[in-house]
């Protein structure tokens, strides 16, 4: 069984894994990182989105062995100094979650979207989040939250 070394939310793990083990199941079943949920089996819904070396991936579509040597950040590891990340706060402020199941993936995808486009239009947000499905919100407040998160992250960059 291959041995992998992977850092998840700042902690380094060494794990023997079956080659077929999905990253999301490594996170959930082996490492107890259940903040990242599974919503489908065809990589359509995006609920399982995490950061892999700084870019968003759907962790149901990545094998654990592919994450060998990588740095993974999940929704549980966002934020600094114990605080929520500005994007998490923006989702709270704008009521951008209801059941909350898509939320971890939606927040991760939104943060990744802002890396390429720090000040996205509504249309850019809608297209940028196309790979993340939500059944509760109708996306209106998610779009507002991403706009707000972008503004707050922009402010943070300017003042730092």
Partner 1 sequence: MSEIDVGVVAEQIAESDQISEPSGAPELGRPRRRKEDGRLLTGRTRWTDNLSRPGLLYVTFLRSPMAHARITRVDVSGAIGLPGVVAAFSGRDFADEQGSLPCGWPVSEDIVIPDHPPMAVSEVRYVGEAVACVVATDRYRAADALEAIDVEYEPLPAVVDMREALSPDSPKVHPEGNKAFSVKIESGDVEAAFRDAPVVIDRTYVQQRLIPTAMEPRAVMAETDGDSYTVWSATQIPHILRVMLAVITGIPEHKIRVIAPDVGGGFGSKLQVTAEEVLCLLLARRLGKPVKWTESRSEGNMTVHHGRDQIQHVRLAADADGRIRGLRVDLLADMGAYLMLVTPGVPLLGAALFNAIYKMDAYEFGCTGVFTTKMPTDAYRGAGRPEATFAIERTMDELAAELGLDPMEVRRRNWIRHDEFPYTTVSGLTYDSGNYEAATDRAMALFGYDKLRAEQADRRDRGDPVQLGIGVSTYTEMCGLAPSRLLGEARYAVGGWEHGSVRMLPTGKVEVITGTSPHGQGHVTSWSQIVSDALGVPFDDVTVLHGDTAVAHKGMDTYGSRSLVVGGVAVLKACEKVKEKARRLAAHLLECSPDDLEFHAGAFQVKGTEQRKTIQELAYAAFTAHDLPEGAEARLDSDATFDPENYSFPHGTHLCAVEVDTETGMVKIRSYVAVDDVGRVVNPLIVEGQVHGGIAQGVAQALFEEAVYDADGNLLTTTMADYLLPSAADLPAFVTDRTETPATSNPLGVKGVGEAGTIASTPAVVNAVVDALRPFGVADVRMPCTPERVWRALEGAGR
Name the residues that contact partner 1, by CB under 8 A.
9-10, 18, 20-21, 25, 28-29, 33-42, 44-45, 47, 73-84, 88-89, 91-93, 95, 97-104, 107, 122, 125-127, 129-143
Buried b / exposed e along 93-107 (16+ C-beta atoms within 10 A): ebebbeeebbbbbbb
CB of 158 to partner 1, least distance (A): 21
CB of 159 to partner 1, least distance (A): 18
Instruction: For residues 1 and 90, give the distance between their C-alpha atoms in angstroms, rounded to a whole number.
Output: 42
Instruction: For residues 20 and 157, give the distance between their C-alpha atoms in angstroms, rounded to a whole number.
Output: 40
Instruction: For residues 136 and 86, give the distance between their C-alpha atoms in angstroms, rounded to a whole number.
Output: 22
What DSSP designation does 77 have? G
CB of 69 to partner 1, least distance (A): 17
CB of 77 to partner 1, least distance (A): 5
Instruction: For residues 47 and 34, give the distance between their C-alpha atoms in angstroms, rounded to a whole number.
Output: 12
What DSSP designation does 80 have? S
């Amino acid at each position: 069984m291959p041995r992998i070394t992977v850092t998840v939310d700042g902690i380094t793990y060494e794990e023997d894994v079956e080659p077929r083990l999905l990253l999301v199941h490594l996170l959930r079943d082996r490492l107890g990182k259940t903040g990242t949920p599974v919503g489908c089996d065809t990589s359509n819904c995006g609920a399982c989105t995490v950061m892999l070396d700084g870019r968003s991936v759907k962790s149901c579509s990545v094998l654990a062995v592919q994450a060998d040597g990588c740095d993974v950040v999940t929704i549980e590891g966002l934020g600094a100094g114990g605080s929520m990340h500005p994007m998490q706060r923006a989702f709270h402020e704008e009521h951008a979650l209801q059941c909350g199941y898509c939320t971890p993936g939606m927040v991760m995808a939104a943060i990744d979207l802002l890396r390429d486009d720090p000040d996205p239009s509504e249309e850019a947000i809608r297209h940028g989040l196309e790979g993340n499905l939500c059944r509760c919100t109708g996306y209106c407040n998610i779009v507002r939250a991403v706009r707000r998160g972008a503004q707050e992250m922009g402010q943070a960059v300017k003042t730092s």
